[in-house]
Amino acid sequence: MDTIQLLLGGFGTALSVNNFFAAAVGALLGILVGAMPGIGSLAGVALLLPLTFKFNPVTGMIMLSAVYYANMYGGSYSAILINIPGDTPAVMTGLDGHPLAQQGKPGKALFTSNIASFIGGTVGIIILTVIGPGLARFGLRFGPVEMAALLLVAMTSLGWLLGDSPTKGIVATLLGILMATMGFDAVLGTPRYDFGSIYLLGGVPFIPLVIGIFGFSQVIEMMELRNKPRDFDTDKLTLRDSMLSRDEFRRIIPPSLRSSLLGTFIGVLPGAGATTGAFLSYMQEKRLGRDGHLLGTGRVEGVAAAEAGNNSAAAGAFAPLLSLGIPGSGTGAVLLGGLLMYGLNPGPLLFQNQPEFTWGLIASLYVANIVTLGVAIMIIPWLIKILKVPVSVMIPVITTICVMGSYSANNSLYGIVMMLFFGVVGFFMKKYGYPIAPLLLAFVLGPTLEKNFRQALQISDGSLAIFLQRPISAVLVAFLLITVVSPIVRRAVGKNKTKTKGESV
Amino acid sequence: MARANSRFVFPTIATAIGALWVAVGLSRYGWISDGKPSSGFFPVIVGALLAAIGIVAIVSELKIEPPRFFSVHLHPLLATVAVVVFALLVGFFPALSVYVFGWLKAYEKYTWRFSLLVTVVTIALVYGVFAAWLRVPFPRGFIMDALRG
């Protein structure tokens, strides 16, 4: 009952003219940015972060969340139409979406993607509404010991999952933590690792870092793609041809619902995210679906499973973000950075201390989901034109936004210098296969980890055994060990198998 | 002759950063003071881990073929540096206008009309958002400042 009342109060906040407008603009921009191949949700949210400076925290976060959320819709369009995913979760959508486009049904693939995204998002947001406050109440049991263990789990699981190798994920994570130690020590308030520079005294600035490492690095990378032509299997899309028949509707509902539940569960796990949600939902459909064996040949069920999976995971990821302060993905880390920038402290007390903000944001996700669906359907006839914007035109336009955004972070050229530096760093990291998202996640979570870790050691007089003496942290440490050890064991077993095969030949 | 593998550069830098953090942390900020962790405590642990994992990364990287780089990768970086320098002289919006137009017309060989159209739309949008709406005080440049006294 309480939850419903709070949610209704949240709708009061979300439906104010300013907030509704912010959600609608966020939805439109999110779809556009997500649809453009090569930009992706992370770079999209990063580039649009400065736009929210003018807003109050509630409106700013509503807009950013709508951008993030709508990105999930937009990411699938280029995967379907030109077989280039707008972001990583859309890779799975392309497996059936592009074959459908090649069969002359691009509109149906897009419409399926929109409807499944809507179903996934709605299920994810309903579950978020129900479990969010419970998770926050559970989070109130977390002291520094449990919090430090949870943060370690969040950082390592993402670091291990992404990129070419676990080693690279760990290097990126540790670099992110070290970058976060520059500036003031959050516990003692003394300056450190500023190397005598007054600029570094304030630490590494968040917005130039995000814009550089995701936005500008993308510009440098795009230079390789700028002359590559994009092949379209169709010249024209109409809403009429995109509509699904009753039979097609019936076919996409069960996979959408199944994937929504699985996707939300994945999204709630710290360190998992939309990509894992889409991947596992697609695999689930392949096994459980009536025509699972046909997936990959251009089936609407495949598109529905992947899209419902990634959108529900994106919505579910808000639960640990808001109630525990743990983002589920790189984009979640940008959102967390945005929350911190606005002076809001995500964590167990957010639901208690900032109910207007928290419930306003959750209610705005319902609103943004409906608005995004409307925009997503209306935009279908224009998609070919949007996707035909050449990379060579996007390069100077994105660079201009990068320059303006990083300057406006603190009205200083220092912001641009940092943006360029991190742009180059991000480019090299991508080229050498080092994942960037764990670096950002670690950068954002690093100070909280350090604070809690040091407090835990103060409580235990320096003994690490405290992490095993408390039940919640002991479970988390066990999970952490499994995460760390399992890839090593898998690799060792894999090597042994190869050796044995080699010997037997 | 074996081609030099650039893959070791990134983990080597990471290892060096880890070692630097350990050295600076221990020498300047301390490890434990009055039984409590000092400012250097956490960064030293993370730095040591990074240095160790960085060495593992160096060894594993040497077995992999390095990626290819092209001179075009440098172009957006050089262009942006030039824009910033030019912006200090004439101000941000004129510098960015010249950059967007110059890139499209001279570098990408688009038509005058198309290049001008994209430039006008882009600059109008960023001016509207950053200067008019967010009221970011962009520098007008030395030349404009001198002309205005």
Contact A399 B69 (CB under 8 A): no
Band of pLDDT at residue A503, cut at 50, 70 and 90: low
A178 touches chain B (CB under 8 A): yes
Q: H/E element holding A246?
A: helix A246-268
> A53 to chain B: which residues are within 8 Å by CB?
134
Query: pLDDT tens digit string along A404-417?
Result: 989 988 888 999 99
Longest distance between any two alpha carbons in chain A, whole Å: 72
Q: ipTM of this predicted complex? A: 0.94
DSSP calls for A294-354: GTTSS-HHHHHHHHHHHHHHHHHTHHHHHHHS--SSHHHHHHHHHHHHTT---STTHHHH-
Q: Which of B46, B75, B89, B121 to mutate to test the interface with A (most CBs of A within 10 A)?
A: B46
- Residue A233 has φ and ψ, to the nearest 5°, of -85, -5
Whether B50 has a pLDDT exceeding 70, the answer reads yes
How would residue B48 be classed by pLDDT, with cut points 50, 70 and 90?
A: very high
Q: Write out pLDDT tens, residues A301-318.
A: 999 999 999 899 888 888
Domain-embedded: residue A82 = yes
Q: Is the dihedral of CA A151, A152, A154, A155 positive or negative?
A: positive
| pLDDT tens-digit map of A235-273 | 778 888 888 899 999 999 999 999 999 999 888 876 667
Strand partners, B36: B33
- What pLDDT does A274 receive? 77
Q: Would the pLDDT of B13 be above 90?
A: yes
Residues of A with Cβ-Cβ distance to B43 under 8 angstroms: 178, 181, 192-193
Q: Most B CBs within 10 Å: which of A164, A179, A181, as the mutation test of the B interface?
A: A181
A–B interface: beta-carbon pairs under 8 A:
155
pLDDT reading at B2 higher than 50: no
In the predicted model, is pLDDT for residue A501 greater than 60? no
Asked if residue A209 belongs to a domain, the reply is: yes
Q: What is the pLDDT of residues A165-189, one digit of tens each?
A: 788 888 999 999 999 999 988 888 8
pLDDT class of B1 with cuts at 50, 70, 90: very low
Closest chain B residue to A167, measured at CA: B57
Closest chain B C-alpha to A249 CA, distance in angstroms? 40
CA nearest to A447, candidates A345, A350, A323: A345
Nearest CA in chain B to A227: B108
Answer yes or no: is A497 within a domain: no
B39·A404 Cβ contact <8 A: no
**Residue B116: pLDDT over 60:** yes
Of the candidates A167, A216, A454, the beta carbon closest to that of B56 is on A167
Query: What distance in Å separates residue A220's CA from the closest CA in chain B?
Result: 5
Res A400 pLDDT > 90: yes
Task: Give chain A's end-to-end CA distance (angstroms, integer).
Answer: 68
- For residue A393, the chain B residues in CB contact (below 8 A) are 104, 108, 110, 118
Task: Judge: B126–A404 Cβ closer than 8 Å, yes or no.
Answer: yes
* A134: three-class secondary structure by DSSP: helix
**Lowest pLDDT segment from A75-89, B11-25, B41-55:** A75-89
In this prediction, residue A505 has a pLDDT band, given cuts at 50, 70 and 90, of very low
Domain containing residue A111: 2-492
The candidate with the shortest Cα–Cα distance to A250, out of A300, A319, A214, A197, is A300
Q: Is residue A504 included in any domain, yes or no?
A: no
User: CA–CA separation, A132 vs A126, rounded Å?
Assistant: 10
- Confidence label for A119 from pLDDT (cuts 50, 70 and 90): very high
- Report how many domains make up chain A: 1
* Top-ranked range on mean pLDDT: pick from A125-134, A227-236, A385-394, B133-142: A125-134
Nearest-CA residue of chain A relative to B19? A178
What is the Cα Rg of chain B in Å?
24
